[in-house]
């Protein structure tokens, strides 16, 4: 397969992308085309939905939303339109968006269940083999895709996000699956910031597909102690997105990594080449 520039991205190519069976540069070229071509954008939305349709996550979302559930809802476009309704130039404006939007219920679920999102289950299993690692803070947990995988792997998880529709859905999913609070504690970020609720200090801080959405990603260091033993993060893009994906901010990778080194953490390349895993 060659890089895609002017031609449409066809069905077969999209299916290979969801299986992550194309080279990274091919995937980037295809995504760039999809973002500027309405025909391919519509097809990509359908292909992702088709692949996610029979998944447990979509079935749970449909049960959770009931009659308001909309099949093939284009949540990516809805999020972009919602974001652009206001000028989001300060931290409070950005946080308000994530606190109020319902569109991430669909977006995060389809993203994960279609296979479009990078799969970290193999990394989670490797981490589970480390007997010194038992508790993980899933920061920016959203609808709980990683939280549920971490719980399944045997970790005790602290799930943190804004008090929002996504966090409500996660609470429902935990109840639906019979996961006790002893195994997964869900705390709204607002309660921690206002000191209305304390949280246990986890062995690992986990932030995946989160930091590039933050107005100030260095803020996460307020939620971990100086003796944190593991830190894992993954950003979807270092560059500010635009157009139909306006939610990303420039992520300062070098400065962020330096802050981790100041915490006496070292980058460990033995786990996964895609995610940044730091440990003592």
Counting every residue written for the chain, the total comes to 280
User: pLDDT below 70 — which residues of the chain?
Assistant: 1-6, 194-200, 238-243
Residue 254: the pLDDT is 95
Instruction: Say how far apart CA 117 and CA 109 lie, in whole Å.
Output: 10
Residue 155's H or E segment, with its range, is: none
Query: Hey, how many other C-beta atoms are within 10 angstroms of the C-beta on 126?
Result: 15
pTM of the model: 0.93
Domains and CATH numbers, the chain: 11-113 (no CATH), 121-279 (3.40.50.150)
Residues 6+ apart with CB under 8 A from 120: 146, 149, 208, 234, 272, 275
Residue 247: the pLDDT is 86
Return the half-sphere exposure (C-beta side, CA atoms, 13 A cut-off) of residue 108: 24
Read off the DSSP letter of residue 90: S
Residue 193: the pLDDT is 79
Residue 241: the pLDDT is 60
Residue 244: the pLDDT is 77
Residue 65: the pLDDT is 98
Instruction: Say how far apart CA 111 and CA 85 lie, in whole Å.
Output: 23
> In terms of Cα–Cα distance, which of 23, 32, 190, 203 is closest to 98?
190
Instruction: Say how far apart CA 221 and CA 255 lie, in whole Å.
Output: 13
Residue 5: the pLDDT is 47
| Longest CA pairwise span in the chain (Å) | 55
Cα–Cα distance list, 40 to 120, 147, 241 (Å): 27, 32, 19
End-to-end CA distance of the chain: 42
Residues 6+ apart with CB under 8 A from 167: 141, 159, 161, 186, 188
């Amino acid at each position: 397969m060659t890089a895609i520039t002017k031609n449409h991205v066809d069905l077969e190519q999209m299916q290979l992308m969801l299986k992550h069976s194309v080279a990274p540069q091919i995937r980037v070229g295809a995504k760039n085309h999809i973002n500027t071509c309405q025909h391919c954008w519509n097809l990509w939305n359908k292909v992702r939905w088709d692949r996610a349709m029979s998944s447990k996550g979509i079935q749970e979302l449909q049960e959770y939303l009931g009659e308001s559930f909309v099949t093939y809802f284009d949540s990516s476009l809805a999020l972009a339109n919602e974001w652009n309704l206001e000028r989001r130039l300060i931290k409070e404006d950005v946080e308000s968006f994530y606190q109020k939007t319902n569109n991430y219920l669909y977006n995060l679920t389809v993203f994960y269940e279609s296979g479009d999102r990078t799969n970290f289950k193999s990394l989670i299993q490797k981490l589970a083999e480390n007997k010194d690692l038992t508790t993980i803070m899933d920061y920016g947990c959203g609808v709980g895709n990683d939280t549920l995988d971490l719980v399944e792997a045997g970790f005790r998880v602290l799930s943190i996000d804004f008090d929002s529709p996504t966090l409500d859905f996660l609470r429902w999913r935990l109840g639906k699956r019979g996961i006790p609070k002893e195994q997964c504690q869900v705390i709204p970020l607002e309660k921690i910031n206002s000191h209305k609720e304390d949280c246990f200090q986890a062995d690992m801080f986990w932030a995946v597909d989160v930091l590039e959405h933050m107005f100030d990603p260095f803020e996460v260091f307020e939620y971990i102690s100086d003796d944190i033993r593991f830190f894992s993060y993954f950003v979807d893009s270092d560059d500010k997105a635009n157009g139909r994906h306006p939610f990303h901010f420039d992520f300062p990778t070098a400065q962020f990594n330096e802050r981790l080194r100041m915490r006496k953490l070292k980058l460990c390349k033995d786990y996964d080449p895609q995610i940044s895993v730091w440990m003592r």
